[in-house]
Amino acid sequence: MVSLGDGGQEVYGAPLGPLELDLDGVRAGISFDHSQKTGLFLDQRENWPQVRRFAKGASVLDGFCYHGLWGIHAALGGAAHVLGVDSSESAVIQARANAVLNGLEDRCAFEKARVEEVLEGGVTFDLIVIDPPAFAKTRGQAKKAMARYEEINRKALNALSPGGILITCSCSHFMPTVDFLEAVKRAARSLSRPVRILGQRGAGPDHPVLPVMPETEYLKCVILHAP
């Protein structure tokens, strides 16, 4: 389902203004005028539903939530409460609207805040999703980015309840999977906390990987269990 919202117009068959999308049964609003890039990041579309496997009865943090699709899927999977956090006010407003569209506003709260501050706030969660923007946009930033991935994953693991699930992602083109996993390993080791990898995923099939261009395998999504 794609429908024009209030004030929507069509020019040469291309819709402008607010839209409402049906993404595999999840309703989501989108505005091309007030969103980043194309308005909605669909490379995680097949990964969002994975959160439902672990969400029943859980307290969930959706870090760098953007439009809240990880958190909304968690709520649809039976999460007791979802807190979504993003530094973008417009993204948080859209995430709140998406929760209302799906009848989940009673279990989903979205706030403008720094994810790091929430993770350091002393509250623990049963399920944490960390899906930040790219930390390494050039090869020269890769080393610094690796340190940032280690730091954010250390804070996430520290805020994760015993037996919890961490879904951690990287969309940095210049951060190979092996380096991203090394950053996660270092984060766990710094806390003396064992972790188990339950799954590794990438972008959907509409984002194919070209063997001659390794950067096309940019999206990393790792599902971890932390006893």
Residues belonging to the active site: 171
Q: What contacts 24+ positions apart, CB below 8 Å, involve 57-61?
A: 57/126, 58/125, 58/126, 58/127, 58/165, 59/83, 59/124, 59/125, 59/126, 59/127, 59/161, 60/125, 60/126, 60/127, 60/128, 60/129, 61/85, 61/118, 61/119, 61/125, 61/127, 61/128, 61/129, 61/159
The terminus-to-terminus CA distance of the chain in angstroms comes to: 41
**163 to 47, 166, 218: CA distances (angstroms):** 21, 10, 29
Contacts of 156 (CB under 8 A, 6+ apart): 63, 119, 128, 130, 166, 168, 187
172 three-class SS = coil
